[in-house]
Chain A
Amino acid sequence: MKDDKSKSELNYKDLTQSDKDLVAKLVRGGFSRREVLKLSMVTGVSLVAAEHLLFDGKAAIAATPKKGGSVRVAIDLHGPNDQTDPMQFTSGIDYARGRAVYSSLIQHANDLTPQPELAETFEPNSNATEWTFKLRKGVEWHDGSKFTADDVVYSMNRHLTEDSTSTIKSVMASVKEWKKLGSHEVKAVMHSPNADLPTLLGIFQNKIIKNGSKGDWIGTGPFTMESFEPGVKSVHKRNENYWREGAHLDACEITAITDPVARVNAVIAGDVDMIARVDPKAYRQVDSAEGVTLTSIPAASQLGICILKNTKPGENDDFVKGMQYIQDRERIVKRVLKGRGTVGNDTPISPAHGKDWCGELPQRPYDPDKAKFHFKKSGYSSAELHVAPVTSGIEDTCLLAQANCAKIGFDLQLKKVPNDGYWGAVWMKEPMNVVTWNMRPTANSQMAIQFGPGGNWNDTFWNNARMGELLSLSLAETDPAKRHKLYCEMQTLIHEGSGMVIPAFSNISDAIRDNVMGVPTVPLGSNGAAEWPEFIWLA
């Protein structure tokens, strides 16, 4: 009896997180009769109840944000190297502080479409060799001075100078120069056409700072910086003079708890309101805890194994094929990532990249027989793989590969190395190593960084002239069908020819207290790619 009653009055808030996600997805997508049917089938409730659920869910999701309150957010890493200058941002805590204090020209929506921020409009010329940005008027810096085109030109040109120490120098290299057209209008003159420029302007390091400064925590963002102690915490107050509606919270505090177990315990105990990065080993603990939600946002954070193509054994194509066929991809997603991930197809592009992902490319299966055949043909019977815990799950992925190799008589030796100093000493140096890349906002930048011929981070040293051609052709292509064809050709090239093994992508998994609402789901990093400061509120 009780059961019947609860079923007929099942409300959105009573659902499990995965059902909530489903309802939320349907609500955001606008639901049809077919989707109501689907929901009823998946959740096992009646059609009427499913309909009720969707309306209730819509109301719950669209609830008006409340003003006030403050939160503590704990990221996973910090230290004396916490940065002040956006150009030098490297870690999640920098990104969060940057989002609280500074603004960008463009902001990423959850589906990565570029939204106006300090730039009200952005228009390319006919062949995307120039982009014109009309800037918002009446915006003031935290110190009260006026925001103008000079600030934008100064901030953006800092990435382009010869001796620039910007961490995104190469990402912005398609721009030749930023020019001022008027007090609130600027123009980007390109070296080569780039239809994706606005999307790139939304990334973490592209913050607008005051002309002549190095950031210094004077921004135009939703929060001001009240105190900043590197490696300890920063405290922020709402910017009452913000040019948009403004932050909902009165204040927030950004800190880090570096120990993964302590971080999870802190959010479960309620000492912090939101944490970044939950280790797969703690999924069950967070899932079963009261008052905390474990998020799971499909992204393109790759678990990658780089096989260098310019040396032994990777110069042998059959060896690479053997390593690719020995990956039990389904099992990695199910067991190592506990279902919170997607299967990879040895390209860096995942379904999270939307329409640029090549779904037509046949999925490479786990096939020990083929692996055995290719290893045999390659003439190698053993190889050494350098493994550091660069991302959660990579070590277990390699252990699984080792076990599967042993079954077919191939000796895959794992050499465990520490994270400390890994990027300088092992990656791109040892013939086989592991890698992870944060998801880039466009499929083009994601592929260009790792597979652009002769590029700085071509981490398998696979130089393919056609790939280079396609990378620039696709940037200038504006017809969607032709564009997709070009992106598919690139992914096929990587899938077939490069030295990259990408068996899986992990989802973004953070933990949030249930009273924290409105956390964005931008898939480029933890906590909605740090886009939360302006949007979250306390229920």
Chain B
Amino acid sequence: MMTQMVFQRIGIGFATLMVVSIIVFLATSILPGDVAQIILGQSATPESLAALRTELGLDQPGYVRYFNWLGNMMTGDLGISKAGGATISSLIGGRLGNTMMMAGWVAVISIPISIALGLWAAMHPGTWLDRIVTFGTLSLISVPEFFIATVAVLILAVELHWLPSTAYMTGNETFVELMKALAMPLITLVIVVSAQMIRMTRAGILNVMSSPYIEMAILKGVPRGRIILRHAFFNAIGPIINVIALNLAYLVSGVVIVETIFAYPGLAKLMIDGVQTRDLPLVQACAMIFCATYVVLILIADVGSILSNPRLRNPK
């Protein structure tokens, strides 16, 4: 049953990837100008444009280029950047690592904090502590991340000189140096994603708290902490895992603003650069990675919520 679902979802995932690749290909083609025009920019002439288009293979019809790309992709060849001439795998390689590292550290820091704070707030609803958490998270959700990032830079880097203003990595720093370099974007992203996860945890648990079996437990005299940790939490975990998964996917694909402000070489900025230069193979490769990340993370979230819920785990 479970394995069947997983295989089915993987199949749907592949179909999604194909559809996304076609949509991305078409959407990028609709944009005004092509990569030759962007490379030559203001200095383009009809002759130099034609010469460059031939050199880059842009004179072929769109469907030929799409299927060429698809064929190479299936054999693991991501192709060559049209705009700069580097191989896509070399462009993506280091940045994928950077993105995963950042997402990983943010997850490691923010998930325990969020769940702990969310649980705490749910255990003491209506107290001043709960109000601080609720008010604080609501405020932080409303503030755009570039604002948090810029304020953090102004205070911690420009005024106090405690932390570097950009996430600069040499590639051979010690763990402490690495943490110092990453501190600013980590702080920003932890604040951004935690707020949502805390609220979801709190809301999910309070929602379950009003169900009959919890009332039964209260009547039996079970302590509130035990009710929440033993009974409510596992029944509320489905939506919480889903919010975590969505936030992780966002950390992989959506942090372009944070990457730009801290000059952090990650994947999201690479894809934007690709779109700006109409570098189709690069855009496609990034889109595939992002799409696959969503598919996999949501699959994991669904499996997680099934495993955590006895009713779904053992269907009658």
Contacts and interface: CB of A to CB of B under 8 A. Distances in A.
Interface of A: 72, 74, 79-84, 88, 90, 162-170, 229-232, 255-259, 261-262, 265-266, 268-272, 420-421, 423-425, 427, 437, 456-457
Given A88-B39, A258-B260, A421-B33, A456 B83 contact: no
A424 B32 contact: yes
B39 A90 contact: yes
B262 to A, nearest CB: 7
Given A231-B91, A265-B158, 6 more contacts: A80-B91, A80-B273, A170-B45, A271-B157, A424-B32, A437-B42
A45 B279 CA distance: 59
Interface in B131-156: 150, 153-154
B277 A269 contact: no
A423 B36 CA distance: 12
Contacts of B45: 169-170, 456
B110 interface: no
B38 interface: yes
Contact of A265 (B32, B48, B55, B157): B157
B91 A230 contact: yes
Contact of B165 (A83, A256, A271): A271
Contacts of A258: 260, 263
A457 B51 CA distance: 18
A266 B165 contact: yes
Interface string B288-306: 0000000000000000000
Contacts of B270: 80, 231
A80 B84 contact: yes
Contact of B273 (A229, A231, A257, A269): A231
A163 B262 contact: no
A421 B153 CA distance: 32
B48 A169 contact: yes
Interface in B108-140: none
Interface residues of B, number: 50
B41 interface: yes
Contacts of B43: 90, 167-168, 170, 457
Nearest to B271: A80
Given A230-B84, A265-B153, A165 B55 contact: yes
B28 to A, nearest CB: 12
A268 B274 CA distance: 30
A165 B166 CA distance: 36
A261 B157 CA distance: 13
A424 B265 contact: no
B44 A423 contact: yes
Contacts of A232: 94-95, 265
A421 B32 contact: yes
B161 interface: yes
Interface of B: 31-33, 37-48, 51-52, 54-55, 81, 83-86, 91, 94-95, 150, 153-154, 157-158, 161, 164-166, 168, 260-263, 265, 269-270, 273-274, 276-277, 279, 282
A256 B264 CA distance: 11
A425 B166 contact: no
Report the 10 A-B pairs with minimum CB-CB distance, sorted nearest first: A81-B83, A79-B273, A424-B33, A425-B32, A424-B37, A421-B32, A421-B33, A269-B165, A232-B265, A257-B263
Given A165-B55, A262-B263, A90 B41 contact: yes
Contacts of B54: 163
Given A262-B262, A268-B158, A82 B44 contact: no
23 contacts: A72-B168, A79-B84, A80-B270, A80-B279, A81-B38, A81-B273, A84-B84, A90-B39, A166-B48, A167-B40, A168-B43, A170-B43, A232-B265, A257-B166, A259-B261, A266-B165, A269-B161, A271-B164, A271-B165, A271-B168, A420-B31, A421-B31, A456-B46
A457 B91 CA distance: 34
A166 B158 CA distance: 42
A104 to B, nearest CB: 18
Nearest to A171: B43
A262 B166 contact: yes
Contacts of B44: 423-424
A345 B161 CA distance: 46
Given A88-B39, A165-B51, A230 B86 contact: yes
Given A167-B43, A170-B45, A232-B94, A269 B84 contact: no
A466 to B, nearest CB: 24
Contact of A79 (B32, B83, B154): B83
A271 B51 contact: no
A84 B168 contact: no
A256 B95 CA distance: 16
B228 to A, nearest CB: 43
A81 B39 contact: yes
Contacts of A257: 166, 263
Nearest to B95: A232
Contact of B84 (A82, A164, A167, A420): A82
A271 B86 contact: no
Contact of B81 (A80, A421, A425): A80
Contacts of B262: 262
Given A83-B84, A231-B91, A262 B153 contact: yes
Contacts of B38: 81, 421, 424
Contacts of B91: 80, 230-231
Contacts of A162: 47
B277 A423 contact: no
Contacts of A423: 33, 37, 41-42, 44
